Structures are given as structure tokens and as C-alpha cells.
Amino acid sequence: MPEKCIEGLNIRPDGIYVDVTFGGGGHSLEILSRLTTGKLIAFDQDEDAAANIPVDSRFILLNQNFRFLRNNLKYNGIGSIDGLIADLGVSFHQFDEPERGFSFRFDAPLDMRMNRDGSTTAADIIRKSDESALADIFFEYGELTNSRAIARKIVSSARTKAILRTSDLVSAIGSLVPVRQEHKFYAKVFQALRIAVNHEIDNLKEMLFQSLEMLTSGGRLVVITYHSLEDRIVKNFMRSGNFEGIEKKDFYGNPEVPFRVLTKKGIIPGDDEIAANGRARSARLRIAEKI
């Protein structure tokens, strides 16, 4: 879907654009290729992203969480933007570096911090949380229906041996894996902890609210999500300007909406793209234009 993302931004050569999830720089390079006198500001809280900075005077990379979008843009003299793109997936780099602890495929410290200056790791959350709090994390962020059983197993195992590594967590909950669903089960467990460690839902909501303020009329908001919780938040916000999806009306009963939604059901990758990149199978692209 990279082409559809860039098309969705409707790039003006002299416009100002923001890539709030710089990562490997793929989207940023495509945006830059379509600019002349325009500017591109990118955000990434992972210090490793600096290795991908293009040598281009029109480009600025801010080593910041995108929840600080508005303040950082204004600090850099930018009062409004023409488009913003957010690819909410964890980067290949983070997944494929064992020591980052994002993946159950490797035995590594149970870390999962996107910003390694952060103080709380996934191991810390498990150590400090009681059974009820852990169950809430797995239910809300992993949408796991057996969240209480998972939390119970983790707390019970931790009494015998501290859960400090990815292998410790996998071993603790191994008996709960549904038949022929091992990958999906562990992916949801690790996803839930990653979201909790990095406050991803709160950060997403902050960024979306600020994007509405910063986008000029006609500016585009382009977001790729990878699980239903994120997608629901983005969908509701684009449709109604709030995260509950509650439609507000003016005095005359006319809907008051901040965006014109350009992708009613979202765009999903085709079979060829999924075959080339299995991680794309859960992606959904949504595009909206500020009114």
C-alpha cells in the first residue's frame, strides 16, 4: 500500500508534510521525491532511526514521540501543515533485533521500549502489576478473551521464577496456546505488553487531536493501522472528531464533522503485497481530508 499512502497525501510540491513514524524512511523518501520547495518533518523516538536520515535540506528528523507533534512543529516555526502520515506498525528493525525484546521468536530481555531512554520495560510491567491489571492489559490491548487465565498463569509463574526474558513469558503461558494458533496467540500477548509499555493508545489519541489542529483546510490525514483497537480509534476520529464515534450536530441538526472521509471502509493490501510481506496482512489504510 505504499503507493496508495503517498497518493492519499495529495502532495503539493511546495507543501509542508509530516511523517510521524519515520522508521526506515521509506515513506519520507517518497514524499521528498515529490517536493520542490516544500518541507518534510519526521518524528521517531527510536534513536536508531537516525541511521536512515536522508541528506536533504528540506528534511528534519525530530527524535521525539509524536504525541508532542504540535509543540515541536511550532518550535520549528511551523504553524500549519498540508498533510500527515502515520504508519503505526512496529518497524522491521525493532522486530528483527532480538535484544529489543519485541518478538517471541527470539530469547531476549523482555524489553519492548521503542524509546530506550524510557524507564519501564515489559518485564517491569509484569513485575509490578497484579493479576487484575495484567488481565486488563491483555483484554484491552490484545483483545484476548482468556485474558484472566493468561494473567493468572503469569502471576503464578512469577512466584517461582521472575519473568525477565521473552522465553520466560512464552514458557509461563505455553499451556494456554489454542490448537494451531500459536503464532497468533503469542503475537497478541506481546502486542498487548508493547502497547502498555509505550503508552501507544494514549499517544495515538494525542497525536490525532493535534493533527486536526495543525492541518490546514484541505490537508490530508493518512494512517495505517495494524489491529482493530487502533483502527477503531482512527475510524471514529476521522468520522466524528472524537474517539467514541459520537456525531455532533449544529443548531439546525446538520452533522459537524472535521474531515471528509476518503476511504469509507479503509484499504487493505492485496494478495501480492501480503505474499511479499506477510506482516502487511493486518494493515488497513484510512485517509481523510480536513474540511
* pLDDT 10s digits, 182-240: 999 999 999 999 999 999 999 999 999 999 999 999 999 999 999 999 999 999 999 99
pTM for the structure as a whole: 0.93
Min mean pLDDT across 6-20, 81-95, 240-254, 275-289 is at 81-95
Cell numbers standing for residue 20: 510521524
**Extended beta strands in 198-257, E state:** 215-225, 248-249, 255-256
Q: Would you call 201 exposed, middle or buried from its count of C-beta atoms within 10 A (0-12, 13-18, 19+)?
A: middle
Please, what are the domains in the chain? 2-92+200-290 (3.40.50.150), 98-198 (1.10.150.170)
Min mean pLDDT across 86-90, 240-244, 265-269, 286-290 is at 86-90
CA geometry: angle 228, 229, 231, nearest 5 deg:
60
Q: Is the pLDDT of residue 91 over 80?
A: no
| DSSP 8-class letter at 243 | S
The single residue listed with the C-alpha cell 476511504 is 263
Min mean pLDDT across 48-62, 130-144, 165-179, 247-261 is at 247-261
**Extended beta strands in the chain, E state:** 16-19, 39-43, 59-62, 81-87, 215-225, 248-249, 255-256, 259-261, 284-290
Query: How high is the pLDDT of residue 276?
Result: 86
